[in-house]
Chain A
Amino acid sequence: MADLIAERPLVTVSRSAAPPVIEIEKLSLVFDTGDAPVNALADVDLTVAKGEFVSLIGPSGCGKTTLLRVMADLERASSGRVRINGMSPEAARLERAYGYVFQAPALYPWRNVISNVTLPLEIMGRPKAERLERARAVLDLVNLRAFERKFPWQLSGGMQQRVSIARALSFDPALLFMDEPFGALDEIIRDHLNEELRQLWQRTQKTVIFVTHSIPEAVFLSTRIVVMSPRPGRIIDVIESGLPAERTLDIRESAGFAEIAHRVRAGLKAGHSYDDP
Chain B
Amino acid sequence: MTTPERGFLREKALPVATVLLALLVLWYGGAVWLNAQPLIDRYAREGRPWRMSELFADAMSMERPILPAPHQVLGELDRTVLEVAPTSRRSLVYHGWVTLSSALLGFGVGALLGIALAIGIVHVRTLERSLMPWIIASQTVPILAIAPMIIVVLGSVGFVGLLPKGIISAYLCFFPVTIGMAKGLTSPEPIHLDLVRTYNASAFQVFCKLRWPSALAFLFASLKVAVALAVVGAIVGELPTGAQAGLGARLLSGSYYGQTVQIWAALIVAAVLAALSVAAVGVAQRFTVARMGGRL
| Structural contact, A94 and B200, CB atoms closer than 8 A | yes
Determine chain B's interface SS by DSSP, over half rule. helix
* A93 with B293, Cβ < 8 A, contacts A102-B191, A102-B195, A123-B205 known: no
| Chain B residues positioned under 8 Å from A72 (CB to CB) | 198
Closest to B188 in A: A108
**CB of B89 within 8 A of chain A?**
no
| Other-chain residue from B192, B201, B205, B209 in contact with A106 (beta carbon distance below 8 A) | B192
| Chain A residues positioned under 8 Å from B198 (CB to CB) | 72, 74, 93, 96, 98-100
| Structural contact, B209 and A119, CB atoms closer than 8 A | yes
**CB of B194 within 8 A of chain A?**
yes
Q: How far is the CA of A153 from the CA of B200 in the complex (A)?
A: 27
| Chain B residues positioned under 8 Å from A93 (CB to CB) | 197-198, 200
**CB of B203 within 8 A of chain A?**
no
**CB of B292 within 8 A of chain A?**
yes
| Chain A residues positioned under 8 Å from B189 (CB to CB) | 106
Closest to A151 in B: B293
| Chain A residues positioned under 8 Å from B196 (CB to CB) | 123
Nearest CB in chain B: distance from A109 CB, A: 6
A92-136 interface mask toward B, CB cutoff 8 Å, 1 = contact, 0 = none?
A: 011110111011101011111000000110111000000000000
**CB of B104 within 8 A of chain A?**
no
| Structural contact, A104 and B296, CB atoms closer than 8 A | no
| Structural contact, B191 and A109, CB atoms closer than 8 A | no
Which residues of B, 197-211, contact A by the 8 Å Cβ criterion? 197-201, 205, 209-210
Which residues of B, 279-296, contact A by the 8 Å Cβ criterion? 292-296
**CB of B213 within 8 A of chain A?**
yes
| Structural contact, A109 and B293, CB atoms closer than 8 A | yes
| Chain A residues positioned under 8 Å from B292 (CB to CB) | 109-110
| Chain B residues positioned under 8 Å from A120 (CB to CB) | 199
| Structural contact, B213 and A108, CB atoms closer than 8 A | yes
| Structural contact, B210 and A108, CB atoms closer than 8 A | yes
| Structural contact, B295 and A109, CB atoms closer than 8 A | yes
| Chain B residues positioned under 8 Å from A111 (CB to CB) | 293
| Chain A residues positioned under 8 Å from B200 (CB to CB) | 93-96, 123
* A74 with B197, Cβ < 8 A, contacts A109-B295, A123-B205, A151-B294 known: yes
Nearest CB in chain B: distance from A132 CB, A: 17
Q: How far is the CA of A96 from the CA of B201 in the complex (A)?
A: 10
Q: How far is the CA of A93 from the CA of B198 in the complex (A)?
A: 6
Q: Which of A93, A108, A119 has the largest count of B CB atoms less than 10 A from its CB?
A: A108
Closest to A72 in B: B198
B12-29 interface mask toward A, CB cutoff 8 Å, 1 = contact, 0 = none?
A: 000000000000000000
B158-196 interface mask toward A, CB cutoff 8 Å, 1 = contact, 0 = none?
A: 000000000000000000000000000000010110111
Nearest CB in chain B: distance from A25 CB, A: 23
| Other-chain residue from B194, B199, B213 in contact with A110 (beta carbon distance below 8 A) | B213
Q: How far is the CA of A108 from the CA of B292 in the complex (A)?
A: 10
| Structural contact, A124 and B199, CB atoms closer than 8 A | yes
| Other-chain residue from B192, B197, B199, B294 in contact with A108 (beta carbon distance below 8 A) | B192
Nearest CB in chain B: distance from A176 CB, A: 11
A226-255 interface mask toward B, CB cutoff 8 Å, 1 = contact, 0 = none?
A: 000000000000000000000000000000
* A123 with B199, Cβ < 8 A, contacts A110-B296, A151-B294 known: yes
Closest to A153 in B: B295
Q: How far is the CA of A106 from the CA of B213 in the complex (A)?
A: 15
A143-155 interface mask toward B, CB cutoff 8 Å, 1 = contact, 0 = none?
A: 0000000011100
| Chain A residues positioned under 8 Å from B195 (CB to CB) | 100, 102, 106
Q: Which of B199, B292, B294 has the largest count of A CB atoms less than 10 A from its CB?
A: B199
Closest to A112 in B: B293
| Chain A residues positioned under 8 Å from B213 (CB to CB) | 108, 110
Closest to B192 in A: A106
B259-296 interface mask toward A, CB cutoff 8 Å, 1 = contact, 0 = none?
A: 00000000000000000000000000000000011111
Q: How far is the CA of A112 from the CA of B293 in the complex (A)?
A: 7
List 19 additional A-B contacts (Cβ < 8 Å) besides A74-B194, A109-B295. Answer: A74-B198, A94-B200, A96-B199, A100-B195, A100-B198, A102-B195, A106-B195, A108-B192, A109-B292, A110-B213, A110-B292, A119-B209, A120-B199, A123-B199, A123-B200, A123-B201, A123-B205, A151-B294, A153-B294
- In the assembled complex, 19 residue pairs joining A and B whose CB atoms fall closer than 8 Å, in A order, are A72-B198, A74-B194, A93-B200, A95-B200, A100-B198, A102-B195, A106-B195, A108-B210, A109-B293, A110-B213, A110-B293, A110-B296, A119-B199, A123-B199, A123-B200, A123-B205, A124-B199, A151-B294, A152-B293
